[in-house]
Amino acid sequence: MPLAKMALLPDRGVVRVAGPDAEKFLNGTITADLDLLARQAAVHSALLTPQGKMLFEFFVTKARGSEGDGSEGEDGFLMETGRELAAGLVKRLRMYMLRAKVTVEDVSGAFQVAAAWGGTPSAHDKWIVYPDPRLPEMGLRVLAPVPPGLDAALGNATADVEWLAAGAYHAHRIALGVPEAGKDFAIGETFPHEADLDLLHGVSFEKGCFIGQEVVARMKHRGSVRKRVVPVEAAAPLRSGAAILVGEAEIGRIGSVAGAHGLALVRLDRAAEASAKGQTLLADGIAVTLRRPDWADFELAPAPAAAGNA
Shared domain check, 256 and 167: no
User: Of 176, 196, 213, at which residue does a domain stop?
Assistant: 176
The range of the structural domain enclosing residue 278 comes to 226-308
Shared domain check, 152 and 22: yes
Say how many domains are in the chain. 2
The domain that holds 261 is classified in CATH as: 2.40.30
Give the Cα separation of 267 and 252 in Å (integer): 6
Shared domain check, 78 and 13: yes
The domain that holds 74 is classified in CATH as: 3.30.1360.120
Shared domain check, 129 and 235: no
Between 301 and 294, residue with greater pLDDT: 294
pLDDT higher than threshold 50 for residue 266: yes
Shared domain check, 30 and 172: yes
- Please report the DSSP string for 189-255 in residue order: T--TTTTTTTTTT---SSS---TTHHHHHHHHHHT---EEEEEEEESS---TTPEEEETTEEEEEEE
pLDDT higher than threshold 80 for residue 159: no
Residue 232 lies in a domain: yes
Q: Are strands 140-145 and 77-82 parallel, antiparallel or unpaired?
A: unpaired
pLDDT, residue 277, reads 93
Residue 26 lies in a domain: yes
Residue 33 lies in a domain: yes
User: What's the pLDDT tens digit per position in 195-231?
Assistant: 999 999 999 999 989 999 999 999 888 876 899 999 9
Check if the beta carbon of residue 269 is closer than 8 Å to that of residue 226: yes
Shared domain check, 45 and 132: yes
Averaged pLDDT, 98-120? 95
pLDDT higher than threshold 50 for residue 310: no
Check if the beta carbon of residue 265 is closer than 8 Å to that of residue 227: yes
Shared domain check, 168 and 91: yes
Shared domain check, 53 and 120: yes
Averaged pLDDT, 69-81? 72
pLDDT, residue 303, reads 41
pLDDT, residue 157, reads 55
Shared domain check, 134 and 252: no
User: What's the pLDDT tens digit per position in 17-51?
Assistant: 999 999 999 999 999 999 999 999 999 999 999 99
Residue 191 lies in a domain: no
Task: Name the band, by pLDDT with cuts 50, 70 and 90, for residue 65.
Answer: low
Shared domain check, 280 and 131: no
pLDDT higher than threshold 90 for residue 67: no
pLDDT, residue 64, reads 78
pLDDT higher than threshold 70 for residue 304: no
Give the Cα separation of 271 and 214 in Å (integer): 28
Residue 278 lies in a domain: yes
pLDDT higher than threshold 90 for residue 262: yes
Averaged pLDDT, 162-190? 97
Residue 206 lies in a domain: no
Shared domain check, 152 and 50: yes
Shared domain check, 161 and 25: yes
pLDDT higher than threshold 50 for residue 63: yes
pLDDT, residue 294, reads 95
